[in-house]
Chain A
Amino acid sequence: MFFWSLVLIAVGIFSSFIYGRSRIKLNSKKQGTKSKSLPNYYAQYVLMWCLFPALIVYFSWAIFQEQIIQNIVISNFEFIEGAVYNEGLLLAEIRNVANNPSFADGKSIEIINAASHYSSLKQISQISFYTSIIIMMLLGALYASQKLKPEFHAQHTIEKYIQYILIFCSSVAIFTTLGIVFSLIFESLRFFAEVSISEFLFSTEWYPFIPIREGQTAAEGSFGAVPIFAGTFLVMVVAMCVAAPLGLLTAIYLAEYASQRVRKTVKPLLEILAGIPTIVYGFFAFVSVAPFVKAFGQSIGIDASPTSALAAGMVMGVMIIPFISSLSDDVINSVPQSLREASLGIGANKAETIKKVILPAALPGIVGAFLLAISRAIGETMIVVVAAGTAPNLTGNPFENVTTVTVQIVVALIGDQEFDNPRTLSAFALGLVLFVITLFLNIIALQIVKRYRERYE
């Protein structure tokens, strides 16, 4: 349906363009004056007045149609007294029957009636959709054609419209942020209506298994996220223990010691490391590193879990090496040459220059890079989903199984989703925490780096 309407709109705007062009030529010939702008601008004017009303109809239908139809169907549904209905499941069932008549066997009469009601509403909606698109296009073109006079400044108007379109494009980023913030906060508020904030932030018991369907038996859920935060922290620390020395030393070597040729070959290779999808790292952790960690743990007498914080953290560290090395490389390169020369001039050798002059001078930038890397490590999902565990575990032992914020978000949203159940909603509360922390780290890091840049520029 939506594909063919796009074809319809395309035909509409094409003909409106042709119409606008010929109409203004005709009008200016009639009046014997030249038009203020080139004919194409008048044509574009008609086109825009044709396109935008149609798009408004198109998107409002795409967004609201399903909701409205569902509401009407549900409000007209003949509920049997005493029976318990789950609105989501009921709707799914009605939709299934409506789309696939073969599913109707064995369904109750109310559902079959509702399904036919649903189909007929769909049909009405479709017809009115096409008619309103055509009407809106015609109205738009009619309005625009009133203005197709030679003395009308079509170009000015068009340029103004283009400005509006550009402003809209650049505000998409703002809308995205607003969308993130509002959806996280809205769902989190629903979560915190059932679970108190203090329990969430300070309690150490995380058993989110609340029965989702009637008849399921499960323990009363408890939502203390401390073990999850601790697990995230542990994995992050392991990752930084791997990535910080390797990344920083690599950056120092590349910036201070390596020849131009080595730089030219190694930098793209590190970029490959950065471009590898995280699920690939997850596979690597699962297949190679985790068995290795387990064997290593056994050889030193520690019983390592097959999904350990160490394995996930180490691989995550590898993933952020290129991140740290390229940021630190930039930072070290922007330390002024004069500092190096002064240090070498008073007799310090290269290592001393680096350790005593360059690194202290570059320190704020390096700290900024580390903070960005930490924020990246906290938000990383696929490595930990595959290689760390799903059971919360409050421990500092990296050989043990821990879980992280991102893993719990995935776990809560895989499978049954019920937006009145705290288990599903907990994903949004955890997401809010994740968003706030990464945003905070990022803002601080960007501030530090910015101030550092200003110092040397």
Chain B
Amino acid sequence: MNNSIAKEKIVSLRKKRSLEDIRFKYYGFTAMCLSLAVLVFLLYTIFSKGYTAFQKTIVLLEVDYNQEVLKLTPESSDEEMEKGKFFRVKKQAIENFFPDLSKSDIKLIKKLFSINVDNEIKDYFLENPEVINTKQQIWVTAHSDVDQLLKGNSRRDVPEDRRKLNDIQLSYVDQLVEENRVKQVFNNFFFTKADSRHPEIAGVAGSFMGSLFTLFTVFILSFPIAIGASVYLEEFAPKNRITELIEVNISNLAAVPSIVFGLLGLGVLLNVFGLPRSTPLVGGSVLALMTLPTIIIACRASLKAVPPSIKEGALAVGATKTQAVFHHVVPLALPGTLTGTIIGLAQALGETAPLIMIGMIAFIPNIPTGLTEPSAALPVQIYLWVESAERGFQEKSAAAIMVILIFLFMMNAIAVFLRNRFERKW
């Protein structure tokens, strides 16, 4: 009797315990799936918000290149053509956009076009000067508000005073859609232009070049210094207090928040050394100091991976230590050090806070051409667009994130390729 009760107890306890076991396993599984689900959701958010930025809306506009309005003649020189009165042509084209427009409606219709239309009309003319005194049908860029409306990013059903476009403008846009005078095409501006106050002509070319210049500076500074430091610490450094201090220092530096490096850049590089603000030179120097510990740690690992027999072989045939290290160990460790450097560069590419500190947050509407020119950088550009109140910038920021993620992906792919291609198993 007693025996069977005890047995039952044991059985039920065992059941409970094994249920507990299964439950615990599923907790772990759920946690893992949740983490991955967030990753998927994050990427989905970015894609769904951003893919529309790769298209822009263009409107068919009939432009009359009348020589009197332009104040040009067919014989005008190129310089004179540059100075043609294209804004008057544009004004005329907009006035005749729909038949019988009232003055107030013309004003409203003007707001359906991008500020860049003047330039587009001019560029078309400069490319085809023979169109003078003819009427041309040109596709020009629509204003961001129209663009967002047609992409479905801004809603029509909110009250008129909370919309960018009022009812009259909406009806004109609808009419355009009906008459097929508006369409969406690939947004080349996004890849060829720098930042702008107007979302429809803002692009990532400027910040992309800024990021490239910054990464170039980071590479030039951190790669040789990291190799020198890791070779010294790995091969030459005597085991003493100072060496230990350097090692502790490097591992602690790796954990210092990036914004503190920004303060270092501001306090020392800008204020003491007087280097030019907002430039890739300063941004790159700060990021180089920031990524240096990461790269040094990676370089040391790859130097350590070279078997000592190689160095000993060189020493045995009479090489000095310097020769053994620089002629034999370092070349063998080079692929590993490059991989580590690329991973460090990837870290530097996504870093925003230090660049804000040294002023790379300024509004730069042109594409930088050198290290000492003020420029933006991709992550800062994203920040500026995220913070912007203008609706049209939101898709731009998501699209810029896609650009930076693809860039990061390619860097990591190169690192993995280098590792797989050149890594040797000893």
Interface on A for B, CB 8 Å cutoff? 2, 62-63, 66-67, 70, 155, 159, 162-163, 165-174, 176-177, 179-180, 183-184, 186-187, 245-250, 252-254, 256-258, 266, 269-270, 272-273, 275-284, 286-288, 318, 321-322, 325, 349-352, 354-355, 372, 375-376, 378-382, 385-386, 406, 409-410, 413-414, 419, 427-428, 431, 434-435, 438-439, 442-443, 446
A378 and B41 CA atoms in complex are apart in Å by: 25
Q: Could you tell me if B259 and A431 are in contact, using CB atoms closer than 8 angstroms?
A: yes
Report A142 CB to chain B, min CB distance, Å: 27
Pick from B116-124, B141-149, B261-269 the stretch touching chain A.
B261-269
Q: A163 contacts which chain B residues (CB < 8 A)?
A: 232, 236, 322
A179 and B156 CA atoms in complex are apart in Å by: 55
A180 and B293 CA atoms in complex are apart in Å by: 15
Q: Mark B384-423, 1 if CB is under 8 A from A, else 0.
A: 0011000000100110010011001000100000000000
Q: Which residue of A lies closest to B235 (CB)?
A: A166
A27 and B393 CA atoms in complex are apart in Å by: 70
Q: Could you tell me if B237 and A245 are in contact, using CB atoms closer than 8 angstroms?
A: no
Q: A277 contacts which chain B residues (CB < 8 A)?
A: 349-352, 379, 404, 408
29 example contacts (A-B, Cβ-Cβ < 8 A) are as follows A62-B273, A67-B274, A159-B320, A165-B228, A166-B228, A166-B232, A170-B232, A173-B246, A180-B261, A180-B263, A184-B260, A246-B31, A252-B28, A257-B28, A273-B39, A277-B379, A280-B401, A281-B42, A321-B35, A349-B17, A351-B24, A379-B257, A379-B259, A381-B257, A386-B386, A386-B387, A428-B263, A428-B267, A443-B252
Report A136 CB to chain B, min CB distance, Å: 21
Q: Could you tell me if B21 and A288 are in contact, using CB atoms closer than 8 angstroms?
A: no
A245 and B30 CA atoms in complex are apart in Å by: 11
Q: Could you tell me if A177 and B253 are in contact, using CB atoms closer than 8 angstroms?
A: yes
Q: Could you tell me if A174 and B352 are in contact, using CB atoms closer than 8 angstroms?
A: no
Q: Which residue of A lies closest to B230 (CB)?
A: A170
Q: A446 contacts which chain B residues (CB < 8 A)?
A: 251-252
Q: Which residue of B lies closest to A325 (CB)?
A: B35
The 4 closest A-B pairs by CB, nearest first: A379-B257, A277-B350, A253-B28, A169-B228
Q: Could you tell me if A266 and B32 are in contact, using CB atoms closer than 8 angstroms?
A: yes
Q: A318 contacts which chain B residues (CB < 8 A)?
A: 35, 38, 42
A321 and B35 CA atoms in complex are apart in Å by: 7
A-facing residues in B311-327 (Cβ within 8 Å): 320-322, 326
A179 and B296 CA atoms in complex are apart in Å by: 19
Of the residues A249, A281, A287, contact of B49 by C-beta under 8 Å: A287
Answer whether residue B289 sits at the interface, using C-beta atoms and an 8 A cutoff.
yes
A416 and B31 CA atoms in complex are apart in Å by: 46
A63 and B272 CA atoms in complex are apart in Å by: 8
Q: Could you tell me if B271 and A170 are in contact, using CB atoms closer than 8 angstroms?
A: no
Q: Could you tell me if A173 and B293 are in contact, using CB atoms closer than 8 angstroms?
A: yes
Q: Could you tell me if B249 and A434 are in contact, using CB atoms closer than 8 angstroms?
A: no
Majority-rule SS of A interface residues: helix
Q: B394 contacts which chain A residues (CB < 8 A)?
A: 287
Q: A413 contacts which chain B residues (CB < 8 A)?
A: 266, 356-357
Q: Which residue of B lies closest to A322 (CB)?
A: B35
Beyond the given pairs A318-B35, A354-B24, 6 more chain A to chain B contacts, judged by CB atoms under 8 angstroms and listed by A's residue number, are: A63-B273, A168-B228, A169-B225, A276-B42, A283-B401, A419-B271
Q: Could you tell me if A439 and B224 are in contact, using CB atoms closer than 8 angstroms?
A: no
Q: B237 contacts which chain A residues (CB < 8 A)?
A: 170
Answer whether residue B174 sits at the interface, using C-beta atoms and an 8 A cutoff.
no
A177 and B247 CA atoms in complex are apart in Å by: 12
Given contacts A67-B274, A351-B20, contact A250 B35 (CB under 8 A): yes
Q: How many A-B residue pairs have CB under 8 A?
A: 252
Answer whether residue B162 sits at the interface, using C-beta atoms and an 8 A cutoff.
no
The interface centre, meaning the residue of A172, A179, A246, A386 with most chain B CB atoms within 10 A of its CB, is A172
Q: B350 contacts which chain A residues (CB < 8 A)?
A: 275-280
Report B10 CB to chain A, min CB distance, Å: 12
Q: Could you tell me if B401 and A249 are in contact, using CB atoms closer than 8 angstroms?
A: no
Of the residues B229, B261, B387, contact of A172 by C-beta under 8 Å: B229
Given contacts A166-B232, A180-B256, A386-B386, contact A280 B404 (CB under 8 A): yes
Q: Could you tell me if A172 and B292 are in contact, using CB atoms closer than 8 angstroms?
A: yes
Q: Which residue of A lies closest to B14 (CB)?
A: A349
The interface centre, meaning the residue of B21, B267, B404, B408 with most chain A CB atoms within 10 A of its CB, is B267
Given contacts A173-B246, A246-B35, contact A183 B267 (CB under 8 A): yes
Q: Mark B204-236, 1 if CB is under 8 A from A, else 0.
A: 000000000000000000001111110111001
A248 and B35 CA atoms in complex are apart in Å by: 11
Answer whether residue B245 sits at the interface, using C-beta atoms and an 8 A cutoff.
yes
Q: Which residue of A lies closest to B31 (CB)?
A: A249
Q: A173 contacts which chain B residues (CB < 8 A)?
A: 229, 246, 249-250, 253, 292-293, 296
Report A141 CB to chain B, min CB distance, Å: 23
A331 and B398 CA atoms in complex are apart in Å by: 37
Q: A354 contacts which chain B residues (CB < 8 A)?
A: 24
Answer whether residue B72 sits at the interface, using C-beta atoms and an 8 A cutoff.
no
Q: Could you tell me if A170 and B228 are in contact, using CB atoms closer than 8 angstroms?
A: yes
Q: B256 contacts which chain A residues (CB < 8 A)?
A: 180, 379, 435, 438-439
A257 and B25 CA atoms in complex are apart in Å by: 7
Q: Could you tell me if A379 and B258 are in contact, using CB atoms closer than 8 angstroms?
A: yes
Q: B42 contacts which chain A residues (CB < 8 A)?
A: 276, 280-281, 284, 318
Q: A287 contacts which chain B residues (CB < 8 A)?
A: 45, 49, 394, 398
Report A43 CB to chain B, min CB distance, Å: 16
Answer whether residue B34 sits at the interface, using C-beta atoms and an 8 A cutoff.
yes
A86 and B352 CA atoms in complex are apart in Å by: 31
Report B305 CB to chain A, min CB distance, Å: 19
Q: B386 contacts which chain A residues (CB < 8 A)?
A: 279, 282-283, 286, 386
A-facing residues in B8-50 (Cβ within 8 Å): 17-18, 20-21, 23-25, 27-32, 34-36, 38-39, 41-42, 45-46, 49
Answer whether residue B172 sits at the interface, using C-beta atoms and an 8 A cutoff.
no
A-facing residues in B322-368 (Cβ within 8 Å): 322, 326, 346, 349-353, 356-357, 361
Report A384 CB to chain B, min CB distance, Å: 10
Q: Could you tell me if B405 and A184 are in contact, using CB atoms closer than 8 angstroms?
A: no
A170 and B351 CA atoms in complex are apart in Å by: 24
